[in-house]
């Protein structure tokens, strides 16, 4: 590929890649693996009022906020979207997402169906919505238990909400059944590769075709 073609091909709009699933289906695992393969992608770090799990780091896994801090951010319009999930508040800080997209970087969001709907209202063209399903409900429960980061009552609550979350599957562009993690990752990789190549996202194409035809 010529240097000029390489340069203009970089002028593309960043994708907003949303992953949703019932708790424990594997969103965090898959997003981490995807990001490890794509250093040019950014993860949107959400704000939440939920307590940190063992090992979770403020500013890396989440911004852990008090209810007051969260409502101040709502009042200052600092969230791109926000929602209540499992009795806690979660929201996507607007600033880092806008900066990354402005630089043409893809941004990955681990948010629920309410957040996905709000982003769809704001930015439908650049949004790719992916839903992750577990192979079966027994396995979902066993993954929540193996993760060993939530109490039995929190796990029971998450299981009882999983059907409601799954009921939104048809609002998504793609569905991946995460049985084997490497297969699911390969599917995710293919979705990202194809979405990046969509004609309307390749801002460089019309200029390229013009010069192609004019023989420049």
Ligand X SMILES: Nc1ncnc2c1ncn2[C@@H]1O[C@H](COP(=O)(O)OP(=O)(O)O)[C@@H](O)[C@H]1O
Ligand Y SMILES: Nc1nc2c(ncn2[C@@H]2O[C@H](COP(=O)(O)OP(=O)(O)O)[C@@H](O)[C@H]2O)c(=O)[nH]1
- Site size toward ligand X, by CB under 6 A: 14
Stretch that binds ligand X, among 17-25, 40-48, 64-72, 163-171 (CB under 6 A): 17-25
11 touches ligand X (CB under 6 A): no
Helix (H) or strand (E) holding 183: helix 181-196
146 touches ligand X (CB under 6 A): yes
Total residues found in the chain within this entry: 216
91 annotated ligand-binding residue: no
- What's the CA gap between 133 and 168, in Å, rounded? 11
- What's the CA gap between 71 and 57, in Å, rounded? 22
Residue 143 · residue 25 · CB < 8 Å: yes
Binding partner of 71, given ligand Y, ligand X, none, CB within 5-8 angstroms per partner class: none
From 8, 9, 13, 28, residue interacting with ligand X (rule: CB under 6 A)? 28
Residue 62 · residue 81 · CB < 8 Å: no
From 15, 16, 18, 25, residue interacting with ligand X (rule: CB under 6 A)? 25
Non-local (6+) Cβ contacts of 132 within 8 A are: 19, 20, 21, 25, 26, 27, 30, 175, 176, 178, 184
Binding partner of 115, given ligand Y, ligand X, none, CB within 5-8 angstroms per partner class: ligand Y
Q: Which is nearer to ligand Y, 14 or 44 (CB)?
A: 44
Closest CA to 115 of 20, 28, 15: 20
From 143, 168, 189, 201, residue interacting with ligand X (rule: CB under 6 A)? 143
From 118, 178, 188, 192, residue interacting with ligand X (rule: CB under 6 A)? 178
24 annotated ligand-binding residue: yes
> Known binding site for ATP: residues?
21-28
Residues contributing to the site for ligand X (CB under 6 A):
21, 23-29, 143, 146-147, 178, 180-181
């Amino acid at each position: 590929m010529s240097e000029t073609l390489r340069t203009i091909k970089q002028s593309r709009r960043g994708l907003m890649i949303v992953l949703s699933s019932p708790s424990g289906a594997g969103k965090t695992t898959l997003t981490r693996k995807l990001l490890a393969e794509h250093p040019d992608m950014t993860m949107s770090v959400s704000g939440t009022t939920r307590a940190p799990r063992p090992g979770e780091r403020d500013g890396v896994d989440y911004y852990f906020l008090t209810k007051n801090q969260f409502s101040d951010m709502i009042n200052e319009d600092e969230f791109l979207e926000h929602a209540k999930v499992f009795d806690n508040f979660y929201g996507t800080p607007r600033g880092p997402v806008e900066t990354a997209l402005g630089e043409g970087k893809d941004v990955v969001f681990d948010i629920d169906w309410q957040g996905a709907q709000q982003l769809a209202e704001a930015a439908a063209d650049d949004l790719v919505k992916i839903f992750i399903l577990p192979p079966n409900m027994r396995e979902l429960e066993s993954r929540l238990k193996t993760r060993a980061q939530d109490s039995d009552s929190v796990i029971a609550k998450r299981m009882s909400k999983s059907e409601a979350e799954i009921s939104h599957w048809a609002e998504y562009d793609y569905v991946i059944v995460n049985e084997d993690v490497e297969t699911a990752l390969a599917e995710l990789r293919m979705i990202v590769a194809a979405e990046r190549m969509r004609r309307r996202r390749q801002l460089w194409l019309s200029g390229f075709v013009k010069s192609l035809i004019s023989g420049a």
